[in-house]
Structure 1
C-alpha cells in the first residue's frame, strides 16, 4: 500500500455496530474520505488514503464513543499491510520521529522501524 493511493476498506454491518451513526458518518466524510453503502446490503465501504485513515482514527479516539472503537481496530488492521517503501516515506515526512512513534504510527515491527530510520540517517 502506498501512502497517496486511496484504499477501499469494507465495513461489515457498519450502521448496526455504531451508535450515533449520523455523527460518525459526518466525522469520516469531514476528513475527506468517501463512505458509501454497498448496494442494498448492510455493508459499507470506506475509500481513503493513509493520511485520511490516520485522521479518522484520531478523531474517533478523541470522540469518546465506545461503540466506534471496533472501527479503529478494523482500520488499524487494514493499514498494517504497509510495505517497506511506505514506512520509509512516513519516516522521511516526519523528521525526528523515534522508533516507538514509527511503530505506533505504522503498526510495523521494531526491526523494520529501525531499518527505515537507519537508512534515512545514513544516506
Structure 2
C-alpha cells in the first residue's frame, strides 16, 4: 500500500480560478479533498501516483492560477521512504537511476541503493 500524503492547501479557493473544474478533476483522480473545519483552508489526501497525475494534469491545462498548486504538491511528494522508492521502481521494469531520481526527487545514493536491491531480486 502506498503512503498517503495529507497536504494542507491554504486559501485554496481564493488562489485558483475555475476551482470547480480543478476540484472535480482532483476527485476524479481518486483523491480526497475536504475543507478543514470552517476555515478557508483545504486538505488533500493522495498517494504518490495520484500526486503525479494531478501535477501532470495542471501542467497540461496551462491554467496560470493552478500552477502554485503543482509547485506546492511537488514540494510535498519528496518525502518517500526506501520501501516506497522500491515499490515505484518495481512498477517500471528497467528504470534507470536518472529516471528514478527525476520521478521521485530522491538522491543519487537512494536511487542506486533501490536499483541495486531490485537487480538482486
TM-score by length of 2: 0.92
The aligned residue for residue 99 of structure 1 is 97
Q: How many residues align?
A: 121
The aligned residue for residue 67 of structure 2 is 69
Q: Separation in 1 of the partners of 2:9 and 2:63?
A: 18
Q: Does 1:13 pair with 2:8?
A: no
Taking CA–CA contacts closer than 8 Å with sequence separation of 6 or more, which of the two structures ends up with the larger relative contact order?
1
Post-superposition, which runs of at least 4 consecutive aligned residues in structure 1 deviate over 4 A? Answer: none
**Unpaired segments of 5 or more residues in structure 1?**
none
The aligned residue for residue 106 of structure 2 is 108
Alpha-carbon offset, residue 7 of structure 1:
2.5
Report the aligned-residue RMSD.
1.3
1:13–1:43 Cα contact (<8 Å) kept: yes
TM-score by length of 1: 0.90
1:103–1:109 Cα contact (<8 Å) kept: yes
1:54-107 Cα distance to aligned partner (Å, 9 max, x none): 111111111111211111111111121101111111111111112222112111
